[in-house]
Amino acid sequence: MSKPDDTGMKMDAALAGRMIDIRRHLHRHPELSNEERETQAYLREALVDAGFETVRPVAGFGLAVDIVGSAGPSNRKVVIRADIDALPITEASGVPFASERAGVMHACGHDAHAAMGYAAALLLDAHRESFSGTVRLIFQPAEEAEPLGGRRVIAEGLLDDVDAAIGIHVDPYTPAGRVAVGAGPYTLACDNFDVVVTGNSAHAAKPSDGVDAIAVACSMVTEVQKIVAREIDPYDPLVVSVTGIEGGGAYNVIASEVRLRGTIRSGLEETRQKAWQRLRQVLAGIAAAHGAEVAVDIRRGEPAVVNDPDMVDIIKRAGATVVGSDNVLMAPGWTAADDFAFYSEKCPSVYFRLGIRNADIDAFYPLHHPQFRVDETALPKGAMVLAEAARAFLEKPR
């Protein structure tokens, strides 16, 4: 059985404890996308207290800090990205450091990502003499909701002088402490849509006098599923989900308007475009068949994350150094979206997953669940993999 490499960076108990303290503080005080003012201030203070003199605000409520190696001159730069925002979820995890902000929770593990980013920064700072070039830590706001922080990071030019990027996400489906990664598309693109169906109101006892917008909308919900089931290759990932329906208001009135909302997740750009086209066509056809009208608004979100094969190899080697090669899994991507995709569009990138599943402490609930928990014993490993991967990239010849 392969064991971790003793030559890698090591995290002492003091840093591991500080990382957990930071994670728990952030968990108690979560903030929604584009509202991370207190999170930004707290992380900035933590970094300054750790000795980083230049910690600059970026992308609204984000932060960036550069760690320059001293092993020799080099213009190479690699980014480590850690997202920091929370979700509009009422926490029910039962942990003693649960959210103190009503209706807001770190249910996607971004508190853990931020804490691992902090620890990786300190590890790299302590080992500056072992690498040349620069590691840029970006603590990114607004991964969960528009306006997306990843898009703003690119717009502000934070990756213009960068050669590669590394992202991490906790994974409740993978055993705690294991690393999962794979080459190629690793998340799906995410687009959202809103639909307004307009019919004609009538007395509920005489529906023939009107056009029932609810009946039309129900047909739409059913039929759009056939875009995926009957028009797309099963090996070509596509998800079309209607996630909301609103209409009507009285027992005896046929609804004249219904609103639908939903999401499209796709792997290939060609499939993404086809899904947009077919959604519009199917909805328009159903509306016409029922004598109704429909307005469709589709908003383009983040693209798919695409993992560069060479960067995947770096994560595999870094993972083997930290947790042993037997604990590095070549695993398929998932259908969630992540705005780290904007980074992967800009430069060779890798997005890997850190297992945090442990049934003994009820750390098995999925992301975005009110009972979501993290096995914190995995976090030092995640931070060390981030640091080792960044150092390995900077050591790699051009």
Among 268-272, 367-371, 386-390, where is mean pLDDT lowest? 268-272
Residue with tokens 């934070």: 158
Among 202-206, 242-246, 332-336, where is mean pLDDT lowest? 332-336
The stretch 33-58 carries a mean pLDDT of: 98
If DSSP codes are grouped into helix, strand and coil, which group holds residue 313? helix
Residue 398's pLDDT is what? 56
Q: Is 108 annotated as a binding residue?
A: yes
Q: Are strands 349-357 and 164-175 parallel, antiparallel or unpaired?
A: parallel
Tokens describing residue 347: 């430069």
The stretch 111-115 carries a mean pLDDT of: 98
CA gyration radius for the chain? 23
The stretch 182-203 carries a mean pLDDT of: 96
Going from the C-alpha of 110 to that of each of 16, 227, 368, the distances in angstroms are 17, 33, 11
| pLDDT higher than threshold 80 for residue 2 | no
Apex 60 CA angle, 58 and 61, nearest 5: 85
Find the distance separating the first CA and the last CA of the chain, reported in whole Å.
33
Residue 293's pLDDT is what? 98
Q: Report the distance separating Cα 351 and Cα 367, nearest Å.
A: 17
The stretch 71-82 carries a mean pLDDT of: 96
Q: Is 25 annotated as a binding residue?
A: no
Helix or strand holding residue 307 (H, E): strand 306-307
- What count of other Cβ atoms lies within 10 Å of the Cβ of residue 275? 25
Selection from 219, 211, 217, 220 nearest residue 291 by Cα: 211
Identify the bridge partners of residue 151 per DSSP, sorted by sequence position.
none
Going from the C-alpha of 376 to that of each of 99, 115, 128, 363, 382, the distances in angstroms are 17, 11, 27, 10, 10
Confidence of residue 163 (pLDDT cuts 50, 70, 90): very high
What letter would DSSP give residue 207?
Answer: G
| pLDDT higher than threshold 70 for residue 19 | yes
- Sign of the Cα pseudo-torsion (98, 104, 109, 110, in order): negative
Residue 1's pLDDT is what? 58
The stretch 209-229 carries a mean pLDDT of: 97
Confidence of residue 397 (pLDDT cuts 50, 70, 90): low
Residue 5's pLDDT is what? 73
Q: Is 144 annotated as a binding residue?
A: yes
Residue 221's pLDDT is what? 98
The stretch 171-199 carries a mean pLDDT of: 97
Q: Report the distance separating Cα 284 and Cα 354, nearest Å.
A: 43
Q: Report the distance separating Cα 299 and Cα 273, nearest Å.
A: 12
| pLDDT higher than threshold 90 for residue 3 | no
Helix or strand holding residue 254 (H, E): strand 253-254
| pLDDT higher than threshold 80 for residue 97 | yes
Q: Report the distance separating Cα 129 and Cα 232, nearest Å.
A: 52
What letter would DSSP give residue 111?
Answer: H
Q: Is 27 annotated as a binding residue?
A: no
Tokens describing residue 299: 């908003």
Residue 7's pLDDT is what? 72
**What backbone phi and psi angles, to 5 degrees, belong to 364?**
-145, 0
If DSSP codes are grouped into helix, strand and coil, which group holds residue 1? coil
